[in-house]
Amino acid sequence: MSQVLFRQLVPLQVKYKDCEERRINVRVSIELQSVSNPVHRKDLVIQLTDDADPFFLYNLMISEEDFQSLKLQQGLLVDFSAFPQKFIDLLQQCTQEQGKEIPRFLLQLVSTAAILDHSPVFLNVVETNPFKHLTHLSLKLLPGNDMEIKKFLASCLKCSKEEKLSLEQTLEDVTRQFNFTQQ
């Protein structure tokens, strides 16, 4: 079972080695997945996709255990259950700063490797104040492999086909009504 906590476009600054820095809008999904086998646990799944680039896919799964090390390592003061909402608040601050030349809050995807290297990347939420850059959060994401991208695209295609079917039905209804008024 999976509960979608957030699925929105967020402005992102992409910085790859040897590549010009660019800004795109990415779809950030945050889901809580409940697993009950072998023991009951919850995992937080974070996914970045780009509606304009079908092969852009980055994933991170954080279990409660993973979160404990993340908490320690980054000096977080919230627990696992409160973390998703804090992360969403940060993302919304980035969205609010969209369009500003020097946004106060910025979501960054940073890699020290070249773009096709399939190495981990860092997703950072960075605040820029007059004094310095403050990293509020830094998450290590993995680029999707061919199998993961294949599955992701299959689910996108399923949604797109369903939306198309529903549009076709609405169009048929409206056209029928329109033709009726023309008689």
Residues 50 to 79: which contact a second copy by CB under 8 A? 54-55
The residue type found at 32 is: L
164 binds a second copy (CB under 8 A): yes
CB of 27 to a second copy, least distance (A): 14
CA atoms within 13 A on the CB side of 39: 3
134 binds a second copy (CB under 8 A): no
CB of 47 to a second copy, least distance (A): 16
129 binds a second copy (CB under 8 A): no
**Measured distance CA(86)–CA(29) in Å, rounded:** 14
Q: How far is CA 139 from the centre of its chain?
A: 12
**Measured distance CA(34)–CA(129) in Å, rounded:** 39
Q: Is 156 helix (H, G, I), strand (E, B) or coil?
A: helix
Site residues (vs a second copy, CB under 8 A): 54-55, 145-147, 149-150, 153-154, 156-158, 160-161, 163-164, 167-168, 170-171, 174-175, 177-178, 181-182
